[in-house]
């Protein structure tokens, strides 16, 4: 593969109204100094398009059910973004599977919230080293993105992690409610 092939790999955008997919050049392909992101508009209807990721493959235009499902996926933040290595991951195939996926995700978020709400973090750097050796398996994968660098510096703020997981739970509950379900 050519080492410049990555630069020609254009993001895939979907217009749910027109039921079409368009590839869009990145702004920095056009103007190397430009770093601002501009919303993608459909060339056909002028409406905003959804960035569905590089691995997105659209269904046929007349498959209304599939396009409705894609719109549902996008409305809850499920797209076809990936690094290209192993694809976009799990994509629910039905509305019921979307709800099941959201409920499972909410359960993981609640576990992470409870972990951070109850964990006792050490005060000194020496205590943190012992804590890191003993508790790393519990914390791996539960760190909010903003705390990852602080964790490597041996400094964590419990309050930030609790707040992060609380917000993630609220967000996923909003998605579940958008499908007309009550959250517990």
Q: Where are the domains of the chain?
A: 5-75, 95-178
22's enclosing H/E stretch is strand 20-23
CA distance 75 to 4: 33
> What are the structure tokens assigned to 72, written together?
């549902």
Tell me what the mean pLDDT of segment 54-71 comes to. Answer: 91
48-73: b (≥16 Cβ within 10 Å) or e: ebbbbbbbbebeeeeeeeebebbebb
CA distance 117 to 112: 8
Strand partners, 5: none
Tell me what the mean pLDDT of segment 158-176 comes to. Answer: 88
CA distance 55 to 37: 20
**167 pLDDT above the threshold of 60:** yes
User: 26, 53 in Cβ contact below 8 A?
Assistant: no
Q: Which residue has the higher pLDDT, 19 or 86?
A: 19
CA distance 71 to 172: 17
Mean pLDDT score of the chain, rounded to an integer?
78
Per-residue pLDDT tens for 1-31? 444 444 456 788 999 999 999 887 665 555 5
Strand partners, 147: none
CA distance 170 to 177: 10
Tell me what the mean pLDDT of segment 132-150 comes to. Answer: 68
**104 pLDDT above the threshold of 70:** yes
Tell me what the mean pLDDT of segment 46-72 comes to. Answer: 91
pLDDT of residue 81: 78
pLDDT of residue 33: 54
pLDDT band per the 50, 70, 90 thresholds, residue 178: confident
DSSP state letters, 57-115: ----TT-HHHHHHHHHHHHTT------SSS-S----SSHHHHHHHHHHHHHHHHHHHHH
Q: Which residue has the higher pLDDT, 40 or 58?
A: 58
**35 pLDDT above the threshold of 90:** no
**Share above pLDDT 90 across residues of the chain, in percent, rounded to a whole number:** 24
With CA atoms as reference, report the closest residue to 139 among 122, 127, 126, 151.
Answer: 151
């Amino acid at each position: 593969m050519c080492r410049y092939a990555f630069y020609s790999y254009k993001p895939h955008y979907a217009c749910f109204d027109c039921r079409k997919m368009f590839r869009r050049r990145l702004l920095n392909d056009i103007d190397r100094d430009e770093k601002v992101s501009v919303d993608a508009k459909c060339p056909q209807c002028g409406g905003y398009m959804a960035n569905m990721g590089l691995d997105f493959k659209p269904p046929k235009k007349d498959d209304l059910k599939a396009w409705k499902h894609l719109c549902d996926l996008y409305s809850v933040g499920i797209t076809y973004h990936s690094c290209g290595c192993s694809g976009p991951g799990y994509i629910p195939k039905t509305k019921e599977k979307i709800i099941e996926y959201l409920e499972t995700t909410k359960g993981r978020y609640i576990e992470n919230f409870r972990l951070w709400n109850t964990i006792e973090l050490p005060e000194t750097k020496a205590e943190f080293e012992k804590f890191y050796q003993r508790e790393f398996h519990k914390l791996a994968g539960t760190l909010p993105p903003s705390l990852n660098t602080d964790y490597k510096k041996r400094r964590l703020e419990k309050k930030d992690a609790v707040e992060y997981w609380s917000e993630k739970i609220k967000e996923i509950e909003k998605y579940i409610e958008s499908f007309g379900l009550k959250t517990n």
